Structure 1
């Protein structure tokens, strides 16, 4: 590719351009030439396929490390955080390929495809399509499904950005992609909830479904002579390891993570750094440390809130001194803790409504990010906040 064409592609997909939005438009919300469009599609397909190959959750951990590296380097260099453009602070084509709506969403869709075709094995208490930690390697069908939904994620991101929807376009694309892969692969959209959609007590009592003979529902075919797996739980809560005294631990984690993320934003003027650290901590989950909480949906809204508390400083990257002058540390910590608490509660609600009774993975944290980003935009429209990270349609 010619140097000029590559420079244009990098500018379109996330290098700061002064466009005061959360991520720019990912390269698909404005007019681009055919070469650039094909490049973006190719990168998105490769990113979705990579998410399928390594697994959806491992790909998100990689994204977290990329965000931390990018934001740390920017802070060390003394540059303002490029909250305009990039994908969670990772600029250029790398940001597109590692973006959650590309790699993570592609990996989740690939797991749904593989479960439908008995490629994930049977030793799993939930529906096999929820095994988003499992790499699918070089399975051709899964790679194609992941790549296709990587492109779908890119288009959904562009749709949200192009229409100026008052939400985080990444979260919108992740959630919409998950709903679409349920439809595409023949899964129920939400699933039946015989005990009530918010009730997870059947899981706490260990209630399981009746034995089934459908391999797709049981989780795949067993080897000859192998003992069949137990039936799935009747209700499958997201992150069951976090259900130890949830009405005590969840608020404590939400307040703590939100305050830490807000403090990091106040210190560095990088609203994505807390998200990156929280996503990178998924490595511990992948290593089998089940009790490590998943918190990236608590960290990001807290960082965005602190940026929104600095009027006029949140569009193209607030200098550290300017943000500190505009926002007292106590206000950042209190606001971040409150936002982390709210996001944690919304994530729990989304897990019960969108995940616990369904067959595939629709990520509760990204559903929470979708709703909390809308709340920030709503507060701006009502005059409570002043920010330019998330589009705000005129009322």
Structure 2
């Protein structure tokens, strides 16, 4: 999701460089499908943590040892590997998400016991070495790379990027996967509106159009129709509304963890100069969620945007105000993630990433305000 300055745009790229990136992106997308989307993203956290740690170390000792350089190694680890073609979220995570959407239609029998949502949302699942699933991951890894590279080159005004193009790529590829594999782009709410999570709280199952449970005559390969049509057998008894995080969807709780995470992300930047270290720590924490520890919060969109809040306000208001701004930015980002999950995740059958949506929206707003002169800078875009 990150720093276009670390990326080489496709426009003007040498053929050899482009082919190198293309082939690696295909492998990275397949890697994400093999490991599963969430495990692949956890690897992103570890690699970025390493890269940012090296950057902090190089800044600390660079003056005493000029031969260490000005951070080339750290830039390579964070930008080229962590946010690049190996574990970049727009490639590895996006490839895993698309592979899961494909498997949800092609291999519903692979669904593990205890998974209550549509299998197309199970981003914890590793698909190993199944060739067709890895091929889907490879195709979407390349697609994510292309969207990011063209976005980084074209979505620029006055030298400022208009948003985080990696986050934008994660969102775009997820919606494309829905369209390609026959899922509703948004889906139909079982409640009064798309924002209504009460059907989940009442544990309402998906129902057929006549009010009955899905029948065996339903097409088992199709997704519930957004126009209220009959629900396929594969969805019998599934929840009518599927929130992204059953333990993290109430507005008050989301705002609270957003405030806390934003402050921590801002403090990490104030003390280390790293915008992405808090993000990396948040991503690594998802290892426990993947291992089944209940109620682990998802916070990488919160700590990242919290750090941006500190970056934006520190030059004009000092560190204490910057830290408070980080908390406010984190809370807003958390609420954006919740809003977008209610609109675009909860009612269809695949994963569209709320943190990526939150980051893309938040950084667009920050960039526009910076371009208009309302904010002193645009963070990392």
**Which range, TM-score by smaller chain?**
0.7 to 0.9
- Report the equivalent of 2:126: 135
Q: CA deviation at 1:91?
A: 2.8
Q: 301-310 vs 259-268, which deviates more?
A: 301-310
CA distance in 2, matches of 1:49, 1:381: 38
In structure 2, the residue matched to 1:237 is 243
- CA 1:247 to 1:172, structure 2 compared with 1: closer, same or farther past 3 Å? closer
Distance verdict in 2 for CA 1:130–1:380, change over 3 Å: same
Note if contact 1:122-1:229 (Cα within 8 Å) is conserved in structure 2: no
| 8 Å CA contact 1:167, 1:390 repeated in 2 | no
- Residue 215 (1) aligns with residue 215 (2): no
1:157 aligned onto 2:153: no
Could you say which residue in structure 1 is the equivalent of 2:189? 193
Quote how far apart the aligned CAs of 1:116 are.
Answer: 1.1
Following superposition, the deviation at residue 27 of structure 1 comes to 2.8
Deviation at 1:298, TM superposition (A): 0.5
Are residues 1:256 and 2:237 paired?
no
- Choose which of 98, 104, 111 in structure 1 pairs with 2:87: 98
Distance 1:183 1:247 in 2: 30
Deviation, structure 1 residue 202? 0.4
CA positional deviation for 1:384: 2.2
Cα 1:327–1:103 change in 2 (3 A) is farther
Aligned to 1:4: none
1:247–1:176 distance in 2 versus 1, CA, 3 Å: closer
How far off is 1:25 after superposition?
6.4
Q: Is the 8 A contact 1:125 1:232 kept in 2?
A: yes
Contact 2:7–2:79, Cα closer than 8 Å, also in 1: no
Q: Which residue of structure 1 lines up, in the alignment, with residue 159 of structure 2?
A: none
Per-residue deviation, residues 26-68 of structure 1 (Å, max 9, x unmatched): 3334312211111101111111000000000011111011111
Structure 1 residues 189, 136: closer, same or farther in 2, change over 3 A? same
- Equivalent of 2:49, from 29, 43, 68? 68
Tell me the alpha carbon deviations over residues 206-225 of structure 1, each in whole angstroms, 9 at most, x when there is no partner.
10013434434699xxxxxx
Say if 1:128 and 1:218, in contact at 8 Å, map to a contact too.
no
Aligned to 1:33: 14
TM-score by length of 1: 0.81
Matched residues in 1 for 2:169 and 2:268: separation? 27
What TM-score do you get using the length of structure 2 for normalisation? Answer: 0.84
Contact 2:164 2:360 in 1 (8 A): yes
**Secondary structure, in 3 states, of the residue corresponding to 1:242?**
coil
Which structure 2 residue ranges, 5 or more long, are not aligned? Answer: 63-69, 157-161, 208-212, 225-233
1:278 match: 282
Q: CA RMSD in A?
A: 2.6
* More deviation, 31-40/93-102: 93-102
Contact 1:203–1:235 under 8 Å retained in 2? yes
- Superposed CA deviations along residues 130-159 of structure 1, whole A, max 9, x for unmatched, are 000000001111100001000000001012
Count of matched residue pairs: 346
| 1:81-131 deviations in Å (ceiling 9; x for gaps) | 979x969x7132563211000000100000011111115326431111000
Mapped partners of 2:89, 2:81: distance in 1:
13
Q: Residues of 2 paired with 1:31 and 1:169: CA distance?
A: 18
Query: 1:379 offset after TM fit, Å?
Result: 1.9
Q: CA deviation at 1:175?
A: 0.4
2:13, 2:143 → 1: CA distance?
Answer: 18
* Match of residue 114 from structure 1: 103
Partners of 1:171 and 1:306 in 2: CA distance: 20
In 2, are the aligned partners of 1:64 and 1:280 still within 8 Å (CA)? Answer: yes
